[in-house]
Structure 1
């Protein structure tokens, strides 16, 4: 199921997005704030999509969406709802290529996905995590209505992350 906003189309990520996923996962912001997912080739991206992204869609009906600018079809980022070990509920996350940052796309896409999480997928609550030094993500999560609620470490990871949360009203 795809979703549209005024300027964007959010479509489930598929192997057709492998070139884009490879580029995004190797962008400086992704590496710094999200981490190395060992997606070094387009082939690695196809494998990641088939083993990590597609199974969640099949199981839950939602997952990672490729964000496409409707004016020209450019793939600008990703936004998704993720089941993550160590988190008490579904996590909302986003990442955009650097050339599309600071244009409001992340907020527009994440706001739409938050609405879909509560109204279409009937989730009761959402969480989000971000690195302590990622001020831009912190501002966006607050703008989305999520509130910072302490810190958390994901299983097998030593990095302390800020934990955000929101309940459906």
Structure 2
């Protein structure tokens, strides 16, 4: 399998790998960043989470991408297609390091990943699982054209986390993309 590398104006998206551990561990240790992503992790937990997502490229044929700032090579975050066993749908999810928040990187990468999910993976429906009080992620979902479909349940061990399933169909995404 040839793993994809995608480019936007400011970002490179590539499969997660061991070189990402320092950035990933800093991301996972930040309380504000991880508030809606299952809670903080120490470095060893972050390594296991990184490995889980990297391994999904082998077991599922897709997973979240590492988002790299092209100008500096800095690890920005992880964004992309995600559907572990028992997940409530085909998701494009996101999370960026706090120091990169507010720069439009999450939107830029999410648009590329929505295109990838629809055009390459052939997904017909895309969700974003978002905690009801996560206003920033809800705003990004709205900006992508997704609508709140109401509460859904994540599989164990995340089943205690309240989330809503925002989403849209591939047809809705294509129409929005074509409208420009």
Superposed displacement of residue 86, structure 1? 4.3
Task: For 1:13-162, list aligned pairs within 5 A.
Answer: 13-36=16-39, 39-41=41-43, 43-50=44-51, 52-156=52-156, 157-162=159-164
What is the SS of the residue equivalent to 1:113? Answer: helix
For structure 2, the 5+ residue unaligned runs are: 172-180
Counterparts of 1:104 and 1:150, CA distance in 2: 26
Residues 84 and 90, structure 1, Cα contact 8 Å, conserved in 2: no
Runs of 4+ in 1 over 4 A off after TM superposition: none
What is the SS of the residue equivalent to 1:19? Answer: helix
Superposed displacement of residue 11, structure 1? 0.9
TM-score by length of 1: 0.90
Post-superposition CA distance 1:124-152 (Å, at most 9, x none)? 11111111111010010111111111111
User: CA RMSD, aligned part only?
Assistant: 1.6
TM-score by length of 2: 0.85
User: Structure 1 152/7 Cα, relative in aligned 2: closer, same or farther at 3 Å?
Assistant: same
User: Structure 1 110/127 Cα, relative in aligned 2: closer, same or farther at 3 Å?
Assistant: same
